[in-house]
Structure 1
Amino acid sequence: MGTLARLLTRRGDAGAGPTASAPRRARGPLGLLHASGMTTEQLRVTWIAVSWLLTYPHPETIERFGTVRSLAASIPEPARDGVLGTLEALTGRDAVAVQEDYVDTFDTRRRGCLHLTYFSHGDTRRRGMALLRIKQDFRTAGLEIGDDELPDHLPVVLEFAAGHDAERGAKILRANRPGVELLRLHLADISSPWHGALVALCATLPPLDAEDRAAVLKLAEEGPEEETVGLDGYGLDGDAADQAARTAAASSPPDSCGSHAAAPGPVPVDLMRGRPS
């Protein structure tokens, strides 16, 4: 029986930690940032390594695997084993086969979606506002994301957290924790080579609390929400309306989480850029 099937059968996931005495949610930006026990440096390194592993595997992306392996040496367990596990699963394979596997994993399965707000808001009008909040976090850090990518694309969020604003990046990830956990469970269920990357990512986040577990279970049972009406014309204006329209575009084809899911992903960042002195 797969991990998700066990989750639904037992109404809990042993791999996500004990169900008794669920941990309290971290409060405040610093508590949120360091709830995993990692230092800011270790978080940044883990996030950029996972970002590169989850980026569409163009030849230049695959060429960075050596750098990712070097980065893994400076991060603690279980993040290190997760990063190295994905590297081992992908290294030496035919590049075209890896690309096909990536598209099948992340662009054709709803549970494999790399757009964070899809899990929390599905194809609903609320997703446009959630995307706008992420875009505003980017702007506060002095960044503008292009029109060819939604701001909740997981590799982009991780690049932002690693190279620009760790606290705001951690906030975005924490706000979408149930979706990240469901993605981890799904990749474990299909024995995906990218499962280790999600193990590493989850190691940087606070432990699941009772609210998170309930949200993961609901997502596993029911899937993300959907609306049969369009996203325009419901009191949204300016950027919010623009994000809502882009959300609607990202909802097709109907059997995928969005046409952007297999996009090339972020441009590599200098890890020192955006760091406080």
Structure 2
Amino acid sequence: MPNQPFTFPGQTGFYRGKVRDVYSFANHPAGPRLVMVASDRISAFDVVLPRPVPHKGQVLNQTAAHFLRATADIVPNWLLAVPDPAVSAGLRCEPYAVEMVVRGYLAGHAWRTYRAGGRVLCGITLPDGLRENDRLPNPILTPTTKAHEGHDEDISREEILARRIVSEEEYVQLENYALALFQRGTEMAAQRGLILVDTKYEFGRVGNVIYLIDEVHTPDSSRYFYTDGYAERLAANEPQRQLSKEFVREWLMENGFQGKEGQSVPAMSDEWLAQISTRYIELYETVTGQSFQPAPAQNRDAEIEKAILAYLQTNE
């Protein structure tokens, strides 16, 4: 994936996120458009790690496209085309400044908060006596503020409304959409022998219409457990077999890194990067039921640029 951004005719903006390069075309003939290139960069604890993971961008892009298409009946989404395995193009929406995180199980950040004694998460009180990876009585919404740099922060529904980040009417719609999407994701995961543990959704707006934007149910935005063996592992207080990038976070923590000031990212060997790549591909094939076909590595940047240029010639 390109280290330096491309420059395209008619381009009106560029933004480099943690893992995506985003090109804006405000004056596209069919209306404002975005083109997103999913890079092989990987982030953890809101820090971009120093070495890319082979094929990660393609996995991310194709997984997101799969689920955007599978949930379009619930909420309209931004995706219009996939010009290249690592590229998505679609509507340019005005994003809401919150991410809607839905949790069905006590895992990850929620478990670390709970283990430290916290019982209130984003204004929601959790019962005593829960174990790591327990299923929650009902899926809960734990929103975060959306940070362009640094750490996202937990925020409650009440604080969102008090600070007028989102109107109450819009927030209720975002809640309903997020919970419906989580239900669909849960059903789709179950068909593949998986449990959708938690995930995040981002939304934007064009006029008065709310759209689902960014990625959906990908390894970067979601955590999955395997259904087979879940109950036995839980009863034995053993770690769950999972498909997510949590294993990357765990490896970093074991090596003394949690994104805190003064900490350094541990060295990432070629073997470790290959293992991460394999796990990403495994997730794609497991959650979609499709065989992963890696794009040829030769002239990859040129192929991506060519595909985007071809898309820009359309009126899609």
TM-score normalised to structure 2 length: 0.27
Considering fraction of residues, name the structure with more strand: 2
Larger radius of gyration: 2
Considering fraction of residues, name the structure with more helix: 1
Bigger relative contact order, structure 1 or 2 (CA pairs below 8 A, ≥6 apart): 1
TM-score normalised to structure 1 length: 0.30
